[in-house]
Amino acid sequence: MSHVLILGGDGYLGWPTAMHFSARGYKVTVVDNYFRRHICDKLDVGMLYPIPTLVERARIWHKQTGYEIQVIIGDLIDPELMRSLFTGQNLNYQWPVNAKFAGSPETVVHYAEQPSAPYSLMNYKTANFTLSNNLLVTNNLMFAVKDLSPDTHIIKLGTMGEYGTPNIDIEEGWIDIKHKGREDRFLFPRQAGSIYHTSKIMDTDLMWFGCRTWGLKVTDLMQGPVYGMETSESIIDDRLKTIFNYDELFGTVINRFIVQAIVGHPLTVYGKGEQIRGYINIRDTLQCVHAAEKNPPKSGELNIYNQIMETFTVNQLAALIQEAAHNIGHNVEIEKVKNPRIEKEEHYYNPNYQGLINLGITPHYLTIDSVQKMIETVFKYREYIDTNVIRIGIQW
Ligand SMILES: NC(=O)c1ccc[n+]([C@@H]2O[C@H](COP(=O)([O-])OP(=O)(O)OC[C@H]3O[C@@H](n4cnc5c(N)ncnc54)[C@H](O)[C@@H]3O)[C@@H](O)[C@H]2O)c1
pLDDT digits (tens, 9 = 90+) for 291-325: 999 999 999 999 999 999 999 999 999 999 999 99
pLDDT 10s digits, 250-273: 999 999 999 999 999 999 999 999
Q: How far is the CA of 111 from the centre of ligand 1 (A)?
A: 5
Q: Count CB-CB contacts under 10 A for residue 171.
A: 15
**Is 159 part of the annotated catalytic residue set?**
yes
Which one, of 210, 186, 181, 233, lies nearest residue 23 by Cα?
233
C-alpha pair distances (Å), 115 with each of 191, 197, 226, 361 = 17, 9, 12, 24
- Residues 40-45: what's their mean pLDDT? 94
Ligand 1: list residues with CB < 6 Å: 8, 10-14, 32-36, 75-77, 111-113, 115, 133, 137, 157, 159, 223, 225-226, 243, 252
- Alpha carbons 155 and 177: distance in angstroms, whole number: 27
Q: What percent of the residues of the chain are helix, what percent strand, and what percent coil, each to the nearest 5?
A: 40, 20, 40
Q: How far is the CA of 129 from the centre of ligand 1 (A)?
A: 14
Q: How far is the CA of 396 from the centre of ligand 1 (A)?
A: 21
Question: Does residue 74 register a pLDDT over 90?
Answer: yes
113 within 8 A of 76, measured Cβ to Cβ: no
Percentage of the residues of the chain whose pLDDT score is greater than 90: 98
Task: Please report which confidence band the pLDDT of residue 46 belongs to, taking 50, 70 and 90 as the band edges.
Answer: confident
